[in-house]
Amino acid sequence: MLVAAAFCPCPPLLVPEVAAGAAGELDALRAACVDAVGVLAAARPDRLVVLGPADEAGQGHHPEGALGSFRGFGADVEVSLGAAESVPGRGLPPSLSVGAWLLSRTDWADAPVEARGVDRSTPPERCAQAGREIAAAAPRVALLVMGDGSACRTVKAPGYFDERAEGFDAGAAAALGTADLAALAALGEEPAAGLQASGRAVWQLAVGAAEGADLRGRLLREEAPYGVGYFVATWS
């Protein structure tokens, strides 16, 4: 059963060494993410599952101890998922590496950790079913859900400007902040893909996991400093 969820953005820029001289611009966002992970710890889960968008190579299950690296983003920083001894094998995709980095910031050792890389084009019902299966796998499950909103808020954004982006992000932020499962389930595949919103599929996995759990939401942070929608929210 799902007992708590934390929703955080997944730009590698959250890692100060990646952001370098611009690191201070995301200090408030980092602090909100750490607070969100604290909500997960307070729920005392039996298992924590980290979800994040991934390309084909990073999709599927990643065990505790899986390694991630930010060398591809210009920073000699390596992270390990959870507190277990490092496990050799395929590396974590960027979104899950950011999740592992957040857990390291809180010295997470409250429950076993695993991760799943999710194809961002996964249809909503398949997302929901996968979420149900995750929630049923242990008596008390928590989720750390890594994903961004639209990447089209300004002309300098990665996806350039799209007039739909602000409305999409406002709806997503409101739904995450109120644990509105119906609104999140209704987010369309095409608009999300067109706006490069990487969080759509993982949010809809959380919807499936939260069915029947009667969780309440709280929006901790919402901003778009680089034309990309970043939201931090908790369900508990």
The domain spans of the chain are: 2-235
Q: Report the pLDDT averaged over residues 209-225.
A: 97
Q: Residue 223: which pLDDT band, with cuts at 50, 70 and 90?
A: very high
Q: How are beta strands 113-118 and 47-53 bridged, if at all?
A: parallel
CA–CA distance, 39 with 54 (Å, rounded to integer): 25
Q: What does residue 143 show for φ and ψ, rounded to 5 degrees?
A: -120, 135
Residue 85 clears pLDDT 80, i.e. is over it: no
- Based on DSSP, count helices (H) and strands (E) in the chain, helices before strands: 8, 9
Both tokens of 47, joined, read: 């298992």
Coil, strand or helix: which one is 70? coil
What is the model's pTM?
0.97
Residue 87 clears pLDDT 80, i.e. is over it: no
CA–CA distance, 26 with 204 (Å, rounded to integer): 26
- Predicted confidence at residue 86, as pLDDT, reads 81
What's the sign of the alpha-carbon dihedral 224, 193, 127, 68?
Answer: negative
- Predicted confidence at residue 22, as pLDDT, reads 84
Q: Report the pLDDT averaged over residues 46-54.
A: 98
Alpha helix locations (H) across the chain?
16-19, 27-42, 94-105, 124-135, 165-178, 181-185, 189-194, 200-210
CA distances from 6 to 3, 45, 57, 86, 232 (A): 11, 13, 25, 24, 7
Which residues, in sequence order, are CB contacts of 133 under 8 Å at separation 6+? none
CA–CA distance, 57 with 55 (Å, rounded to integer): 6
Cα first-last separation, the chain: 12
Place domain 2-235 in its CATH homologous superfamily.
LigB-like (3.40.830.10)
CA distances from 231 to 74, 203, 220 (A): 25, 12, 8
Residue 45 clears pLDDT 90, i.e. is over it: yes
